[in-house]
Structure 1
């Protein structure tokens, strides 16, 4: 009966060593507020929900290379350089590799550590030592070959929780990498469209300056004919020179955007240039999808959620410190005074042992560490929920911007058309001698101002379009997180 109990106890201890238990709370994804629909996609007032359908063409669903929806070969070529040459992206990649390697560091604690050593010594002991035995050998050789093994079983799940935390941290780093790439690529697209918008402004100003040169020639001819005054000539020349100066001034901002694009693509600004090409692309529609999908599509949200998982695992690591540490050790090898009998049965040596230690007093340190871990988890949960709120704000902001800019563009097109008609009427009246050149100049200024506003609205539409894609995650989703 006693032997049976011993076997049962031994089996129980063995099972405990193999299985152990995992202390600390198991992770559950924090809840976050998610509206049923985007406010900006709600039906206009007076239209029933059942008859309202937001246009979402399936051929423009966001994918990995989201910038290709603009159908601009120059932009595509620049975006391809980002993955190869951008140094910020390379740094984020190395940070992910570092976090991934940390997982193996913690996983190594699952296994015993093994050491082996070889020693050869010639020793001479004092014959007058207190423990000397008359006639005993005082000078001899010592040949030893021995190995040691030490293993601390993960009885309380400290290693498991550490690996869990490291895995979640590495996944958060992978999400950070995706977010850095999305930010860089969207910044590149924004800078590119801003530059092309300036090219559109430059084209408009150059064409307007050419038209003003014709007006100046007309006014000079009328002055020579005694129909116009010298003041008319001066006004026409002032208008021309002012417009030419504005066209030159556009180059300042264009150069800065060109330099920014060079840096984003990993090229020196001094050796990079883009030929002038006015913005004339059609603005693509970006399907926003459902609000609930946004939580899976934003890499920054995924990174925050993974950090909450890592922080939760650290609570288990802290709690495991309350339990005793058990260490199993073993030594084995050969030792002999003669080389010929070194690796033989009688020269074998071995030892097995186990030890357990429990910290009895630490002045509340473990309690404080555990509370710190719990509080840190709550911090990550709050950060996760805030990132979700920020994401919905960014989507709504840019949906609203696109909606309002679309309305503004329609109204502005009418304003440009009206200004063109006004200039035509004023020009005709001026040629007939009914008005002086001031009326023509006023109409010219109104037309140019409205045309530049129209060009600016077009640029802002493209910028908001890119920002909406960024706010939606750029086609990324949590399925792309590595399974570590």
Structure 2
């Protein structure tokens, strides 16, 4: 699988105008040639609702509830609303500002022998427009727009993270329910063995040591069953928080684990990484930092504003809007700092340092994304082989247990051998279940690492 992320990095270098800071290519990650691991399966492409191919209505319902009430998603949506408001403010700064003013006062005219107080009323409109000579307002607007893009992607990332956590928690819960059944069956089997051993002990056919061994095994498995019950409570309450509900009012009834496992395609296009919302957000944040370098550089330019006002002034309120009371004026205001003690230069240096920091953050995010994909692909590749080995071990252990049980009932083997066979069968069944659970977890992890499945951008 060839990685073709060069256009993604080239877009970063071309972003912004020539007047702002440039991004050092050495700070950006270099795309590797191939992934280390692949999964040899054929699979249909996942849909936008990536969890639906698991074909579990309960999972579908949990994800829908989480998207409606999860607090992390709501917080990300609130931050997006704040960014959009800031963009509106930045856009307004580039438009003419029109305001109305009115006033009333009473004063005397100086220089008269007997000054007489008089009323004065005024009303008018004021117009102001700043000429964006250095592009400061444009860069501020561009930076705010990129902040909105970053917040949109962070909201998408928050949704994807919550969806993945819900899926992982739910699948872990279903795996735990199956494991609880295995342990309960084992407890029941040890209970039957204990009853048989007690009968044989009363008849003098077995020693007290054998009876104590069976009791110890039964107690150990009862303890393990209670431990799994405790773990289930923890998973259930964690799911309650993810769906934004009170844990005391949330419950999932145990049922058979029938969730489908989506197969991973044999080849994954590297362009999928471009869809990752956290990478897209880091890219937008880097470009916003680049735009803010332009804002800092524009401080060296003079500020120039056009102003105009028109209205009326009169000592009589009734004459305020008559033509004889009208007044108007236009003006041009300019300002250029000459000495600021190095403040503007420091502002440019700070903006460039922030841009460099964002470039490093993007590089780190990119490398972590590659690591996530490699980890999950490697895990799935090995879990396929491990699943086959576990299946063979479970089959062999089950056959050995049947033979040991028959021989024990016929007095051909010791109770210790039967207990060892049962312990081995339990361990292999639970190990196989854990491998199966790990496959589900790694599949969800790969979907998360790829930004929501294996459908390419724009599909």
1:184 to 162, 182, 191: 162
Decide whether aligned partners of structure 1 residues 288 and 336 sit closer, same or farther in structure 2, where only a CA change above 3 A counts.
Answer: farther
User: Could you tell me which of 211, 222, 225 is aligned with 2:189?
Assistant: 211
Aligned to 2:229: 251
Compared CA separation, residues 367 and 226, structure 1 to 2 (3 A): same
User: Do 1:38 and 1:291's aligned partners in 2 also have CA atoms closer than 8 Å?
Assistant: no
Q: 1:29 to 1:179 in 2, by over 3 A?
A: farther
Asked if 1:88 is matched to 2:67, the reply is no
List gaps (5 residues or longer) in structure 2.
1-16
Q: CA deviation at 1:242?
A: 2.3
Does 2:32 correspond to 1:35? Answer: yes
Q: Aligned residue for 1:420?
A: 398
Specify the SS of the correspondent of 1:24.
coil
Where does 1:436-475 land on structure 2 (aligned, <5 Å)? 436-475=414-453
Higher deviation after alignment, 32-41 or 454-463: 32-41
Q: Answer whether contact 1:24 1:317 (CA < 8 A) is retained.
A: no
Matched, 1:57 2:36: no
SS for the counterpart of 1:110 is coil
Once the two structures are superposed, residues 331-359 of structure 1 have per-residue CA deviations (whole angstroms, 9 ceiling, x without a partner) of 21111223443322221111111122211
Q: Is the 2:297–2:348 Cα contact (8 Å) retained in structure 1? A: yes
Match of 1:123 among 107, 110, 113: 107
How many Å separate the matches in 2 of 1:345 and 1:479?
A: 63
Task: Say whether 1:68 aligns with 2:65.
Answer: no
Contact 1:319 1:370 in 2 (8 A): yes
Task: Answer yes or no: is 1:100 the counterpart of 2:95.
Answer: no
Separation (CA, whole Å) in 2 of partners of 1:373 and 1:215: 75
Answer whether contact 2:56 2:260 (CA < 8 A) is retained.
Answer: no
Indicate which of 238, 245, 248 corresponds to 1:270: 248
Q: Unpaired segments of 5 or more residues in structure 1? A: 1-21, 43-53
* Aligned mates of 1:446, 1:196 — CA distance in 2: 23
Q: 2: distance between equivalents of 1:115 and 1:417?
A: 84
Candidates 340, 343, 348, aligned match of 2:321: 343
Partners of 2:364 and 2:99 lie apart in 1 by 50
Say whether residues 1:24 and 2:19 are aligned partners. Answer: yes
Distance change in 2, residues 1:55/1:453 (3 Å):
closer
Partner deviation per Cα, 1:420-459 (whole Å, 9 max, x = no partner): 2222222232223222211111111111112111122222
Distance (whole Å) between structure 1 residues aligned to residue 256 and residue 175 of structure 2: 6
Q: CA deviation at 1:411?
A: 0.9
Find the aligned partners of 1:289 and 1:332 in 2 and give their Cα distance: 70
Aligned to 1:66, the other structure's residue is in SS state coil
Where 1:319 maps in the other structure, the secondary structure is helix
Counterpart contact for 2:76–2:158, Cα < 8 Å: yes
Q: Alpha-carbon deviation of 1:95?
A: 0.4
What is the match of residue 398 of structure 1? 376
CA distance in 1, matches of 2:246, 2:214: 43
- Of the structure 1 ranges 159-168 and 353-362, higher mean CA displacement relative to structure 2 is found in 353-362
Is residue 97 of structure 2 the alignment partner of residue 113 of structure 1? yes
Change (3 A) 1:409 1:121: same
- Counterpart of 1:196 in structure 2 is 174
Cα distance in 1 for residues equivalent to 2:24 and 2:261: 38
Say if 2:347 is the partner of 1:369: yes
SS of the residue 2:399 aligns to: helix
1:284 CA displacement: 1.6
Distance 1:82 1:286 in 2: 26
Query: Is this contact kept in 2: 1:29–1:305, CA < 8 A?
Result: no
Deviation per CA, 1:461-481, whole angstroms, max 9, x where unpaired? 21111111110111498769x
Alpha-carbon spacing, 1:33–1:295, altered in 2? closer, same or farther (3 Å): farther
CA shift for structure 1 position 325? 0.8
Q: CA separation in 2, counterparts of 1:117 and 1:362?
A: 34
CA distance in 1, matches of 2:434, 2:268: 31
Report the Cα distance in structure 2 between the residues aligned to 1:450 and 1:373, rounded to whole angstroms. 59
Contact 1:23–1:156 (CA under 8 A) maintained in structure 2? no
Deviation at 1:370, TM superposition (A): 0.9
- Alpha-carbon distance in 1 for matches of 2:127, 2:42: 64
User: Shift of the alpha carbon at 1:282?
Assistant: 3.7
Is this contact kept in 2: 1:324–1:357, CA < 8 A? yes
Q: SS of the residue aligned with 1:38?
A: coil
Aligned with 2:300: secondary structure?
coil
What SS does the aligned partner of 1:146 have?
Answer: strand
> Contact 2:139 / 2:295 at 8 angstroms: preserved in 1?
yes
The answer to whether the 8 A contact 1:208-1:243 is kept is: yes
Residues 1:285 and 2:263 aligned together: yes
Contact (CA 8 Å) 2:169, 2:238: kept in 1 or not? yes
